[in-house]
Structure 1
Amino acid sequence: MSIVISSYEELDLQETFGIDCHSLQDLVSIPKNPQRLEELGGNHGLAEKLRTSLEEGLSKHANTANSHRIERFSNNVLPDPPIDPLWKMIVEALKDETLIILIIAAVVSIILGSIDYTSEDPSTGWIEGVAILVAVVVVTLVTSINNYKNQQRFLELNKKSADRTVKVVRGGEQCIISVFDVLVGDILMIDTGDIVCADGVFVEGHSIICDESSMTGESDPIKKGHTKDKLDPFFISGTTVQEGFGKMMVTSVGVNSINGKIMMSLRTEVEDTPLQEKLGQLADRIGKFGLIAAGLMLLITIPKYFIELKVNDIKITTDCISDVTKIVVDAITIVVVAVPEGLPLAVTVALAFGMLKMFKENNLVRHMASCETMGSATTICSDKTGTLTTNQMTVVSGHIASYIEHVDYNVKYNIPQHIHSIITDGICINSNAYEGISPKGRTEFIGSKTECALLKFAQVFGADYQAARATANIKKLYPFTSAKKKMGVLIQQENGHYRLYTKGASEIILSQCTTYFDKEGQIKPMTEEVKQMFEQTIFKFASDTLRTIGLAYADYDPEQYNLDGDEPTTGLCFIGLVGIRDPIRAEVPKAVAQFQQAGVVVRMVTGDNIVTAENIAKRCGILTKGGICMEGTEFRRMPDKEVEAILPRLQVLARSSPLDKRRLVQLLKDSGEVVAVTGDGTNDGPALKLAHVGFSMGVTGTEVAIAASDVVLLDDNFASILTINIVAVIVAFVGNIYGSGKSPLTGIQLLWINLIMDTLAALALATDPPSDSLLNRPPHGKDAPLISRTMWRDILGQAAFQLAIQFLLLYLGCDFYNMILDGGIKKDSVRHYTIIFNTFVFLQVFNEINARVLGNDLNPFKRIFTNPIYVIIWFATIGIQILFVTFGGTATSTTPLTLGEWGLCVATGFISLPLGFLLRLIPIKNARVERKRVEDIEEAQENTPIFKKTERYV
């Protein structure tokens, strides 16, 4: 059959397929159509029409060799969601009412400035209007391009989030491929916890049960099998395999699958995250402040202008139109500058860069809002395996007939021959792991890390897992479940008798055994003394942070065995137990300490026994003095009120079930905590879904501290942006009303400042990498105010200083500069206003350095060169400012300054840095409500009876 398949794929003949795409969609549909499958000749008939083999699958090079298969049935990739083109983003940006008015005013200014009788110099009168238009274009383009690139970044990250690996049979061998490479006709391997990636039909399997409630609305789990057994033969994409394992033949992929059609119909635009919405609202409020200021300025300055004309006996001419137009342009520019578009932009840029950085660190963000939530987390419930540990398991000790203190993989262990097959078959047959090619191209065991470790251990006894499985006559499989904490396989021997092999949590397996193997391999009764010996061995292994797995078997008469019943739980023979080492990640203790220093409580929730859990928690630093370590059985028996009493001190929950973990998360949420959960298995699903934010761990494992540090940067970075808004609006408003009646900051200058604060500053600050000091900060509650007390301190302090500088320069600056430099600067001249503008820009440039640090961190230069984007933008801003002032001329309403004047402008702006240092010395007590609440609970309940129990609850 494989030769036929190969020839089909080499010929690439589309007409060789005996069924079309629509017929396959009708086959696996809602409602399902088992009659149609029979009409097609069952599995064999369907496989023939799809030119595949139920045993060997497609060829190993199916994706490259058979383009017609993809052309006919599509591939397992959903098309990219539509993204707005750049021109559309530009048009949307230009729809802003204030920009439209500004453009109209600029056009009027150009027309009036070009007419002889309305301008002193018609050859240059149009320049200011054109400069304003150019500034509008630059601001619009920079913002639109930034948004466009961020849109592409998010699209790329979404693609990566959808990618994962699956197991298929190709060319008769199991191999791992990307889910995007699954084709119609593939024989797909499915296992407990898998999310079915395509529609298909059942080929073979054992005890497969799927949860299809999300697709069909059926709340009861559906058992899969052949129609002749009156079972459901269809698999629906997007559903979850609750139990069992086996094979399915893929019939529909991508947009043709049921899940694909639903996903395409549900596609909507990406919604703003909660923080973006808050910042948008804040920007609207500040914009209204600017609108009010602009309105007041018009109401005051226009009447003032005509009153002055009347007082000075100046006739109203067409020149007045040009003057009034300039006043209107200034007013509109105030509105434009007042609206801090940089706030939501800063969040978008930070999320885009943060998500990309986290992906490079093996963290994949699937929901943007979870980034913000993680920054507010007050407690983390962490899984052990693969999260706190490396998930690289190895059997290091054991007791198989006799005690093995250290397993040597270079030595073949001799065991009594008559029990050799019992030990090796018990490991090899009762397993779903297999040897194959990993995604990295290495030959290794693939599957559950525990099972991979056991198969490798079986090799020290000379076991060949493939030969053992090939000769085994499997009658029934009992898949692993979190409730039973064990799995088994029933085989029929040559003599016709049944043999059951089972493995699982060592104390559970041991409790179900009535016999055991002694040193000579003889079966002996399980006396209380022997049982205690095994329990001590389990305790010893667990105390050494080893995960213990028990192995057992039993023989049965076929006539007395109920194949339709559950797996037997009594009368087993104890083969032995093994201790599996899963090393703790080197970085975990430090990360846990950092979380605890920041006031975040770290809890470990695991399925391991209490001794192992307690020792690992101590090594990680999770279990501290006064902390409680509890078993899931005790946790389940306790009413909510008792659990709530010990909740602040509950640090380890061992032998926990999925519902235990879910209950813990719910109680923590009810007590006001912001809960994060990490997990790597199907059993973690309920808790991951219930938590405020859930982290599912990847194959290589991820560090528990990275996610938070990439997100909390958003808290304070926009402090400098708000400072500029406040100062710019007030200076322009006051300058227009008092003095000469002309704003010291012209429209084109304000637009340049707007570009600095809204786009360049947002990009520079939002891409700044996190510092370790972030982990020393307490978490922010979900209802915490957007602008913290420290932010108000910095914003108001810098704003007051900058306003004082600007007004001093406006009213006393000429005298000061003339005294220092003897430059003969005239008040309200272009040179005077150029100095004011230049100083204002440098105040912002140096304050951007202040904005790099959070809270009371005194060193704003720390790790400043770790972000090349920040450095480039900072120096580029200065370079453009030099060009702006020196060569702008009439277009920018500036004049070249002397070196002395430049020096004073820069020196004045530099004062923002020491001022920022002094402001950060002012103590601000941010209320650490969550920590205080926990302390109050501990103090109030210290003398209650429940706390007088031992710290370990068993």
Structure 2
Amino acid sequence: EFFRCLAICHTVLPEGDEKSPEMIKYQAASPDEAALVIAAKHFGFFFYRRTPTTIYVRESHVEKMGKVQDISYEILNVLEFNSTRKRQSVVCRYPDGRLVLYCKGADTVIYERLSDSNNDIKKITREYLEQFGSSGLRTLCLAYRELHPNVYESWNEKFIQAKSSLQDREKKLDEVAELIENDLILIGSTAIEDKLQEGVPRCIETLQRAGIKIWVLTGDKIETAINIAYACSLINNDMKQFVISSETDAIREVEDRGDQVEIARFIKDEVKRELKKCLEEAQSYFLTVSGPKLALVIDGKCLMYALDPSLRVMLLNLSLNCHAVVCCRVSPLQKAQVTSMVKKGAKKITLSIGDGANDVSMIQAAHVGVGISGMEGMQAVMASDFAIAQFRYLEDLLLVHGRWSYLRICKVVIYFFYKNLTFTLTQFWFTFQTGFSGQRFYDDWFQSLYNVIFTALPVIIVGLFDKDVSASLSKKYPELYMEGIKNVFFKWKERYLDSGMSVQLPSLVL
């Protein structure tokens, strides 16, 4: 059932000659989905053809005693994956008429929908999931449920109504999916390695030296997120880590009772207590001379309650006191909420960078959005302000081109006010010399061409080509970027100084 689920429960499209498995290429929405289908092929479940209603699988596993058999599975319904549901399901009919629902998704989501039986495999699988997460692997759980024809027919009528609805279609489909995605039987779990791009740790370290605080918002489980944070040098062993997780024995015990009101109240109280405890501990570290750097790790379920208006201020204060923040198992909406919290609550300039469709809302919520073009598709790039090919290019974008642009804009704006004040104040002082007769100091053509021709060249040259230091020095000394964070070149003192010069210069001309 494990590999059959991998071969059936997906939206992958095969391309190539079905007679030659080596020639088949899979087109998938994500690299993870393609990897799982390829794994099923290597273990004797070769998915080679798809039609709108049927999936064809060539099975040559041990149960068939080495025989190769082409089996067609009729696909009745597809409950698509999205970042809110965090799972995907397929209802299929076997050649013998048996109806089966296959489901794969995040472990937290699948475990909530399992039947009460098979507690041994649940426990063993959870242990493996923790091992996989600690190794930095991305995990999924697989489950299935056999459906009675009468149960399916009743549910399918509701599914068709929801699918044909013109208002709140997605919401109604999710509600209908909840009706059938329950009493599942756990099959097992998968783990996929998601390697960091080249130069990510060095880039993050450089950006931190430049005074930029880096937060990680990811959909991975907490063990995987912490492992990745270590791998990219965001967290190290010298840091004091505050971990706020819903994967505790006390919370699991309450969840096993099944009372949703009690679960919500208990988790909220636990989150409030942990936030208060961590914030007091963080403030005590700041009173010491050589206190350790702080890091906050919080999962999506706890973050949902921490973003409540009554706890949001406490979360923001704790987060701003931390050197690094890692939010795991978060939905796209939560990513956008965290970004908006920092943007509006802390009044900070924010930049969001991502490469997938689940990062779009976060990218749009930030002041500056950066999309990475890659295997996850082009949705993030299309929604962003800037597009780069790899994460490490963010170093050039910010420390080199971003800093140059800041200097150029500051100089151009200040020069613009300076030259126009000089131009207009000359006419102003001249009116005193002429007894307010209305006589003009400038010729009409000079007045018209002053900004267009006579003073345009300095603005163009400074605005396009001015560089105080080279690109290599900007990256070698990222501390130079702090001048922009502190707004050194565009303070009121600089403006008043230039304005004073523009007031005095016309009197010297006259």
Q: Give the TM-score of the pair, scaled to structure 1.
A: 0.33
Matched, 1:599 2:208: no
Residue 254 of structure 2 is aligned to residue 653 of structure 1: no
2:26 aligns with 445
Alignment of 1:432-511 (within 5 A): 432-436=11-15, 444-447=25-28, 448-467=30-49, 469-470=55-56, 471-511=72-112
**C-alpha distance after superposition, 1:756-791 (max 9, x if no partner):** 634445443279974314564227469x58624897
Aligned partner of 2:210: which letter?
A
- Give identity over the alignment, percent: 21
- Alpha-carbon distance between aligned partners in 2 of 1:446 and 1:706, rounded to the nearest angstrom: 33
What residue ranges of structure 1 are gaps of 5+ in the alignment? Answer: 1-421, 516-524, 734-746, 808-954
Letter in 2 for 1:692: H
CA distance in 1, matches of 2:129, 2:100: 26
What is the alpha-carbon distance in structure 2 between the residues aligned to residue 605 and residue 688 of structure 1?
A: 12
Contact 2:9 2:102 in 1 (8 A): yes
**Structure 2 residue identity aligned to 1:640:** R
Correspondence for 1:546: 137
* 1:712 matched residue in structure 2: 403
* Corresponding residue pairs, total: 353
Structure 2 residue corresponding to 1:702, chosen from 375, 390, 394? 390
Q: Which residue of 2 aligns with 1:313?
A: none
Give the whole-Å Cα distance in 2 for the aligned partners of 1:640 and 1:719. 35
Match of 1:614 in 2: 226
| Contact 1:598–1:775 (8 Å) recurs in 2 | yes
Distance change >3 Å, CA 756–CA 687, structure 1 → 2 = closer
Residue-by-residue CA offset, 1:805-861 (whole Å, 9 max, x unaligned): xx9xxxxxxxxxxxxxxxxxxxxxxxxxxxxxxxxxxxxxxxxxxxxxxxxxxxxxx
Whether 2:157 is the aligned partner of 1:566: answer no
Identify the residue that residue 338 of structure 2 maps to in structure 1: 664
Q: Distance in 1 between matches of 2:339 and 2:228?
A: 21
Larger radius of gyration: 1
Does structure 2 retain, via aligned residues, the 8 Å contact 1:424–1:458?
A: yes
Aligned-pair distance for 1:712?
Answer: 2.4
**Distance in 2 between the 1:510 and 1:795 partners?**
66
One-letter identity of the residue aligned with 1:526 = N
1:220-619 to 2 correspondences below 5 Å: 422-436=1-15, 444-447=25-28, 448-467=30-49, 469-470=55-56, 471-514=72-115, 526-528=118-120, 530-561=121-152, 562-563=155-156, 564=158, 565-567=176-178, 568-619=180-231
Assess, with a 3 A threshold, how the Cα gap between structure 1 residues 719 and 452 changes in structure 2: closer, same or farther.
Answer: closer
Consecutive unaligned residues in structure 2, runs of 5 or more? 17-22, 57-71, 159-175, 240-293, 376-388, 427-445, 447-451
Cα distance, 1:775–1:431 mapped onto 2, change above 3 Å: farther
Mapped to 2, the partners of 1:531 and 1:607 lie a distance apart of: 22
SS in 1 for 2:95: coil
Corresponding residue SS for 1:705: helix
Matches of 1:775 and 1:490, distance apart in 2: 56
* Higher relative contact order (Cα pairs below 8 Å, separated by 6+ residues): 1
> Which secondary structure does the structure 1 equivalent of 2:97 belong to?
coil
Deviation at 1:433, TM superposition (A): 1.8
- Using the alignment, how far apart are the partners of 1:527 and 1:708 within structure 2? 51
Q: What is the root-mean-square deviation in Å for CA atoms of aligned residues?
A: 4.3
Describe how 1:646-795 pairs up with structure 2 within 5 A.
646-648=318-320, 649=322, 651-668=325-342, 669-699=344-374, 701-703=389-391, 704-709=394-399, 710-717=401-408, 757-765=458-466, 770=471, 771-772=474-475, 773=477, 776-778=480-482, 780=484, 784=487, 787-788=490-491
Alpha carbons of structure 1 residues 538 and 718: separation in structure 2 relative to 1, 3 Å: closer
Give the Cα separation in 2 of the matches to 1:466 and 1:713: 53
Distance in 2 (alpha carbons) for counterparts of 1:460 and 1:641:
51
Give the Å deviation of 1:594.
1.8
In 2, distance between residues paired with 1:779 and 1:652? Answer: 27
CA contact 1:513–1:526 (8 Å) conserved in 2: no
AA in 1 matched with 2:99: Y
CA–CA distance in structure 2, aligned partners of residues 548 and 655 of structure 1: 12
- Counterpart of 2:27, as a letter, is I
Q: TM-score, normalised by structure 2?
A: 0.59
Kept in 1, the 8 Å contact 2:410–2:489? The answer is: no
The answer as to whether partners of 1:607 and 1:654 remain within 8 angstroms in 2 is yes
Task: Give the Cα separation in 2 of the matches to 1:582 and 1:644.
Answer: 30
